[in-house]
Amino acid sequence: MAEEDILKRLREDTEGDAPADNAGIPESSDPQEPQEENGVRLRVVDDGIKRRWYAIHTHSGQESHVKKNLLVMAEHSGLSDLMANILVPMEEVAEIKSGQKKVSKRKFFPGYVLVQLPEHPERNAELWHLIKNTPGVTGFIGSRTVPVPLEDAEVNGILEEIRGERERPKPKVKFEHGERVKIIDGPFSNFMGSIDEMNLERGKLKVMVEIFERLTSVEVEFWQVEKV
């Protein structure tokens, strides 16, 4: 998968819910002490290792748990410096409920965690095994054996959006209520059905499929279906 297509896929998979090298990322005087800017905690480890950002796919709703698990397991395994930064990009969203304005946080990319790792993490057996076996992780963006890194410019663009330095692109509607789709992954793979509900925040759909001659509601993630 080409680098320029990765963030496009992330945005398309998660649209409506709503970072590659260290270029553009603020440095900390202490490599062990993350620097925080508008909720983004970053650190730079000055060990001469070239690092890139990768997108890890997780079970939807478990992004924060995956981040915590990665941090704890890396610490226990002595790999914290290799796993320089882990981000679950968030944005503030204002809503009106019961006549009152409430501000809540929402994930930019439900179902994904961004991790800054040494380039070609698959070549470090210990690091690769740790990430792949972290509870909640389902894989990397890319092939099963070779993850594809994000571009520097796109990583920096995400950071700018989080900090409010750049307006986030307006989302396009990928699916519509009642639209016919085919499930392409999971236990109901190859079933056809119609979209009954859409949860943009969680990146999930409820699809009505016929099982044993009865219509049944099946919950799937956006990436598990395709338009018919």
Contact 174, 15 (CB under 8 A): yes
Query: With contact defined as beta carbons under 8 Å apart, do 4 and 20 qualify?
Result: no
87 is written with which tokens? 């981000």
Give the pTM. Answer: 0.57
Helix (H) or strand (E) holding 96: strand 90-97
Q: In angstroms, rounded to a whole number, what is the distance separating the alpha carbons of residues 208 and 218?
A: 6
Domain boundaries, the chain: 3-163, 180-227
Record: fold of 180-227: SH3 type barrels. (2.30.30)
Half-sphere exposure of 143 (CA within 13 A, CB side): 6
Q: In a structure prediction context, what are the per-residue pLDDT tens digits for the chain, which is 228 residues long? A: 444 455 555 555 544 443 333 333 333 334 344 444 345 667 777 788 899 999 999 988 889 999 999 999 999 999 988 988 898 887 766 554 554 556 777 777 788 899 999 999 999 999 999 999 999 999 898 777 889 898 888 888 888 877 766 655 544 447 888 999 999 888 888 999 999 998 877 778 899 999 877 899 999 888 888 888
Strand order across the beta sheet in which 225-227 lies: 214-221, 204-211, 192-199, 180-183, 225-227
Please give the CATH superfamily to which domain 3-163 belongs: NusG, N-terminal domain (3.30.70.940)
